[in-house]
Structure 1
Amino acid sequence: MEQMKRYAIYYAPEAGAFAAAAARWLGWNLQSGQAVDQPVVQLPRPLAEVTAEPRKYGFHGTLKPPFRLAQGVKADDLAEAAAHLAAGLKPVEFSGLQMVELGGFLALVPQGNTGDLQHLAAEVVRRLDPFRAPLTDAEVARRKPERLTPRQRDLLTAYGYPYVIEEFRFHLTLSDQLDKTERDSVAQAAAAHFAGVLPQPFYVRNLCLCGEDAAGYFHLLQRYPLMA
């Protein structure tokens, strides 16, 4: 666990049909840390290209975005804190998931009021932030702060990422950026692939500690039940 470049707190589906379908769609199994064969679908370009960017992260919903450990902090320290935090947080339930387009890419998002999930993610971001190393100048520049709102720049400075707290929107990414000519066909292929396996209801009932390996792929390291 100490060999990871960065760490993150994610939602990731528990083992079952939904998790298996999601791993196949992206071509990477977050839990086993292994590549998996993707389905054969008819698209304007190969599914491997359509999912290249989200593949390395695995199928997940971000709660605390990836970060390097602060100086003097060990991965075991983060793991202990995440377990303690999860024990005091409540699971969140939704009626299900729906596919949407977000800024040019496809994602699954919860159906219904997400206020409780917003609160959960904010607690994770704030409570675990002492374990995060400050951003380097290069990391800040990659976020293109000149394109962010003043509040997003403040959040970038405070928490290392601009889309947290009230700017947060939970989503499960299914694709890279898509142009309009391919969006419908990818959406149809994804809908067919996930038919019958989308959870109803949909629960967020774990915090998943994940780590990024030297090749840039994320692995599920520990799963902590939300127990409040």
Structure 2
Amino acid sequence: MTFTRYAIYFAPPHGVAWSRFGTSWLGWDMETGEALPHPEVGGLDIAAITATPRKYGLHATMKPPMRLAEGCSQADLETACATLAASQAPVTLEGLQLARLGRFLALRPLGDESALNALAAACVRDLDPFRAPAPEAELERRRANGLSPEQEQNLLSWGYPYVLDQFRFHITLTGKLPKPDLPAVEAALQAHLIPLLPAPFALTDLALMGEDAEGRFHLIHRYALTG
């Protein structure tokens, strides 16, 4: 398969209960490249609730999607990912919790995030030589909602505003919801997903992802953190 962009994700283990539910909730399995039926939960229109994040799959972004720089190949990127993962240790936190990020719902980590943030920063910095400059139209789209001076500098330096000191690890579960809809969706996730979440929560590998021509992301390879 030919990919238009690449990204580095935390991708939850494929076979565990919380990952199975979350993948079905979104309706896209990155590992198999298959659309999935949504669970029937509380009469919710889950297809509509998850329409925006579906194509990205159940994940947390560590290195945002990027086009390959001229002269770089997927094989080169795979080698760099293996080298990076071999230099980084696994990260363990207390667990995960459901959180509101504006009008989105996501899973956020519990506990000290410093090691997690350092791992994400290494992904951003070490793999940046493989990133082609973002088109001007993409930069303007990122600026549309307003950026702080630090976010603007990140956009220019790294192609994305919310990296390094602006990074917040999160596993997106919904699109932007109308405020009146948030409590019902929160309640459904609290009832069906939260009891399945691991405690502690461990991040033991990095996932190289590829975006297909329709904008859906596929798992290319997992790289164990062995540093």
TM-score class normalised by the smaller sequence: over 0.9
Q: CA deviation at 1:146?
A: 7.2
Distance in structure 2 (CA, Å) of the matches to 1:193 and 1:220: 25
Q: CA deviation at 1:180?
A: 1.5
Q: CA deviation at 1:104?
A: 1.1
Q: CA deviation at 1:18?
A: 1.9
Q: CA deviation at 1:145?
A: 5.8
Is the 1:145–1:153 contact (alpha carbons within 8 Å) kept by the matching residues of 2?
Answer: no
Partner of 1:119: 118
Matched AA of 2:158 = Y
- Matches for 1:1-228 after TM superposition, within 5 Å: 3-15=2-14, 16-43=16-43, 46-144=45-143, 147-228=146-227
Distance in structure 1 (CA, Å) of the matches to 2:144 and 2:120: 22
Q: Secondary structure of 2:56's match?
A: coil
Q: CA deviation at 1:42?
A: 2.9
Matched AA of 2:38 = Q
Aligned residues: 226
Q: Secondary structure of 1:210's match?
A: strand
Is the 2:104–2:174 contact (alpha carbons within 8 Å) kept by the matching residues of 1?
Answer: yes
Moved more, 128-137 or 143-152: 143-152
Q: CA deviation at 1:69?
A: 0.4
Distance in structure 1 (CA, Å) of the matches to 2:211 and 2:41: 29
Is the 2:97–2:194 contact (alpha carbons within 8 Å) kept by the matching residues of 1?
Answer: no
Is the 2:155–2:161 contact (alpha carbons within 8 Å) kept by the matching residues of 1?
Answer: yes
For normalisation by structure 2, the TM-score amounts to 0.96
Distance in structure 1 (CA, Å) of the matches to 2:145 and 2:46: 33
Cα deviation digits, residues 20-73 of structure 1 (max 9, x gap):
111111001111111111011235x61100000110000000000001000111
What residue ranges of structure 2 are gaps of 5+ in the alignment? none
Q: Secondary structure of 2:157's match?
A: helix
For normalisation by structure 1, the TM-score amounts to 0.96
Q: Secondary structure of 1:52's match?
A: coil
Cα deviation digits, residues 116-152 of structure 1 (max 9, x gap):
1111100110000000000111111110267101111
Moved more, 138-147 or 76-85: 138-147
Please provide the CA RMSD for this pair.
1.2
Is the 2:31–2:219 contact (alpha carbons within 8 Å) kept by the matching residues of 1?
Answer: yes
After superposition, the Cα gap between the structure-2 partners of 1:195 and 1:158, relative to the gap in structure 1 and judged at 3 Å, is closer
Distance in structure 2 (CA, Å) of the matches to 1:103 and 1:161: 19
Distance in structure 2 (CA, Å) of the matches to 1:202 and 1:103: 24
Matched AA of 1:205 = T
Distance in structure 2 (CA, Å) of the matches to 1:50 and 1:156: 28
Is the 2:98–2:194 contact (alpha carbons within 8 Å) kept by the matching residues of 1?
Answer: no
Distance in structure 2 (CA, Å) of the matches to 1:48 and 1:131: 34
What residue ranges of structure 1 are gaps of 5+ in the alignment? none
Distance in structure 2 (CA, Å) of the matches to 1:211 and 1:133: 15
Distance in structure 1 (CA, Å) of the matches to 2:192 and 2:30: 18
After superposition, the Cα gap between the structure-2 partners of 1:188 and 1:89, relative to the gap in structure 1 and judged at 3 Å, is same
